[in-house]
């Protein structure tokens, strides 16, 4: 039987430009689902062959029948879970690249931690209650709001003072690790059972990455100045080569563990968010089980993908290639779970 003509669709935000460019490079037509008013980049960069406009991202499930009729394969990115919630994403009927069952594990900080710990990775300490804070702690609020309002506390008293404006919010208290935050982009193929390092980035966050631009003397004059972690953009980075063997093993370990937690496990793109200390310890504070925006600087490929591929291979293109290979070998079901 002839294969239907599949199209690649995603929400117009986050890493959609990259996903669409990669889809075009592999010969797919593309559909952008945009919130009204955010269509322009997808037209300007010839990214979308078709645009479906919706009033709110929450309306995505309402247009999925249109996508199903067009044989669309939806590529999830950060905006899906953030704007729709993982339960809504889990209910989608349209073809979806990836394993939806893994979303629960990355969306809940406690489950995520269990996943990382059981994979044998080093994670920052977690304080059960403010009275347990015995070193510098980062107070993180639940729900992805991009680090808005996070603050540091050195003990219970400091915490009680700083939590006042956020009294009703749910939070976690994590040991603050001083080191270089490094975000490692992986791709695991469920067709070949191989892991690849696609690239790495450092996030640029406001205002924490700007504090070093004013001296401590001036910082002291601003008693209400607290660091915040609102992401502004991503900067490419290449890690010291001797770290690579450990980073590869870490990626493999989370995939292996995911196969126990949510069969058939994690596949496609994912990211480990880490901090590397001067003692060369690698702490993992988060995992994203999908394409991350830190891959966007590598639309033309990264130094790592340049080693492996003879064409510019972004993570977006790698996804399209995986889908193409799955179609060619009659294994499409294996990549749509
Ligand atoms: P998250 O919401 O967990 O992605 O964290 C947002 C930002 O806070 C990260 O990009 C880091 O810059 C910082 N951060 C998070 N957790 C820690 C930690 N345990 N130690 C140091 N910095 C952290």
**pLDDT tens-digit series, residues 241-284:** 999 999 999 999 999 999 999 999 999 999 999 999 999 999 99
- 89 with 29, same domain: the answer is yes
Q: Over the stretch 146-172, which tens digit does the pLDDT of each residue have?
A: 677 788 999 999 999 989 888 778 888
Domain shared by 240 and 224, yes or no:
no
156 lines ligand 1 (CB under 6 A): no
Say which CATH number the domain at 82 has: 3.40.50.20
Task: Let me know if residue 320 belongs to a domain.
Answer: no
* pLDDT tens sequence across 40-77: 999 999 999 999 999 999 999 999 999 999 999 999 99
Residue 145, pLDDT above cutoff 70: no
Asked if residue 297 and residue 200 are part of one domain, the reply reads yes
Would the CB of 138 count as within 6 Å of ligand 1?
yes
Give the domain-ending residue among 96, 115, 138.
96
Measured in Å, residue 103 CA sits from the centre of ligand 1 at: 20
1 pLDDT above the threshold of 60: no
Q: Is 302 in the pocket of ligand 1 (CB under 6 A)?
A: no
Provide the number of structural domains found in the chain. 3
Looking at the structure, do residues 34 and 153 belong to the same domain, yes or no? no
Claim to verify: residue 69 and residue 146 sit in the same structural domain: no
The mean pLDDT of 91-115, rounded to a whole number, is 93
* Average pLDDT of the residues of the chain: 94
Whether residue 147 sits in one domain with residue 113: no
* 146 Cα to the center of ligand 1, angstroms: 10
Asked whether residue 335 is domain-assigned, the answer is no
Between CA 98 and CA 73 the distance in angstroms is 10
What's the domain range around 247?
Answer: 99-124+179-205+230-310
Closest-lying ligand 1 atom to the alpha carbon of residue 150:
8
Residues 186 and 264 in one domain: yes
Largest Cα–Cα separation, the chain: 73
Question: What pLDDT does 148 receive?
Answer: 75
Domain CATH for 224: 3.30.1490.20
β-partners of residue 29 are: 7
Same domain? For 77 and 132 the reply is no
Whether 323 maps to a domain, the answer reads no
CA 126 to centroid of ligand 1, rounded, Å: 13
d(C-alpha 84, C-alpha 58), whole Å: 5
Query: Is the same domain home to 223 and 257?
Result: no
3 pLDDT higher than 80: no
Give the CATH number of the domain where residue 268 resides: 3.30.470.20
Query: What span, in angstroms and rounded, lies between the C-alpha atoms of 33 and 97?
Result: 16
Q: Which atom of ligand 1 is nearest to the CA of 140?
A: 2
Provide the pLDDT confidence category of residue 302 given band limits of 50, 70 and 90: very high
Which residues are CB-contacts of 221 (< 8 A; sequence separation ≥ 6)?
none
Is position 76 within any domain?
yes
Q: Based on the fold, state whether residues 274 and 253 are members of the same structural domain.
A: yes
Pocket flag, ligand 1, residue 229 (CB < 6 Å): yes
pLDDT of 80 strictly over 80: yes
Assess contact for 116 and 284: CB atoms under 8 A. Answer: yes
- Which of 154, 179, 181 has most ligand 1 atoms within 8 Å of its beta carbon, as the pocket-test mutant? 181
Q: Whose CA is nearest to atom 19 of ligand 1?
A: 176
Question: pTM here?
Answer: 0.94
Residue 316 located in a structural domain: no
Residue 224 banded pLDDT, cuts 50, 70, 90: confident
How many angstroms does the Cα of residue 205 sit away from the middle of ligand 1?
A: 10
Q: Which of 229, 231, 277, 283 to mutate to test the pocket of ligand 1 (most atoms within 8 A of CB)?
A: 229
Q: Are 74 and 9 spatial neighbours (Cβ–Cβ below 8 Å)?
A: yes
In a domain, residue 318? The reply is no
């Amino acid at each position: 039987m002839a294969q239907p003509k599949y199209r690649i669709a995603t929400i117009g935000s986050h890493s959609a430009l990259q996903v669409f460019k990669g889809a075009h490079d592999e010969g797919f037509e593309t559909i952008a689902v945009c919130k009204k008013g955010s269509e322009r980049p997808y037209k300007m960069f010839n990214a979308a062959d078709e645009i479906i406009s919706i009033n709110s991202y929450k309306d995505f499930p309402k247009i999925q029948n249109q996508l199903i009729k067009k044989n669309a394969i939806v590529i999830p990115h950060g905006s899906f879970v953030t704007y729709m919630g993982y339960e809504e994403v889990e209910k989608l009927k349209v073809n979806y690249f990836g394993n939806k069952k893994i979303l629960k594990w990355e969306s809940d900080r406690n489950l995520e931690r269990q996943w990382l710990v059981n994979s044998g990775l080093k994670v920052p300490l977690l304080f059960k209650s403010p009275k347990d804070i015995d070193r510098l702690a980062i107070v993180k609020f639940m729900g992805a709001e991009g680090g808005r309002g996070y603050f540091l506390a050195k003990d219970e008293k400091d915490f009680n003072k700083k939590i006042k404006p956020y009294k009703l919010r749910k939070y976690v208290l994590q040991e603050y690790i001083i080191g270089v935050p490094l975000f490692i982009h992986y791709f695991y193929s469920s067709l070949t059972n191989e892991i690849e390092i696609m690239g790495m980035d450092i996030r640029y966050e406001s205002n924490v990455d700007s504090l070093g631009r004013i001296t401590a003397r001036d910082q002291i004059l601003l008693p209400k100045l607290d660091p915040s972690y609102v992401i502004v953009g991503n900067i490419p980075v290449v890690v010291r080569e001797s770290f690579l063997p450990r980073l590869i093993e870490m990626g493999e370990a989370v995939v292996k563990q995911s196969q126990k937690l949510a069969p058939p496990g994690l596949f496609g793109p994912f990211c480990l968010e880490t901090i590397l200390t001067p003692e060369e310890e690698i702490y993992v504070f988060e995992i994203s089980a999908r394409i991350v925006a830190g891959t966007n600087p590598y639309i033309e490929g990264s130094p790592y993908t340049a080693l492996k591929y003879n064409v510019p291979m972004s993570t977006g293109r790698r996804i399209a290639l995986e889908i193409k290979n799955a179609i060619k070998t009659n294994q499409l079901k294996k990549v749509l779970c």
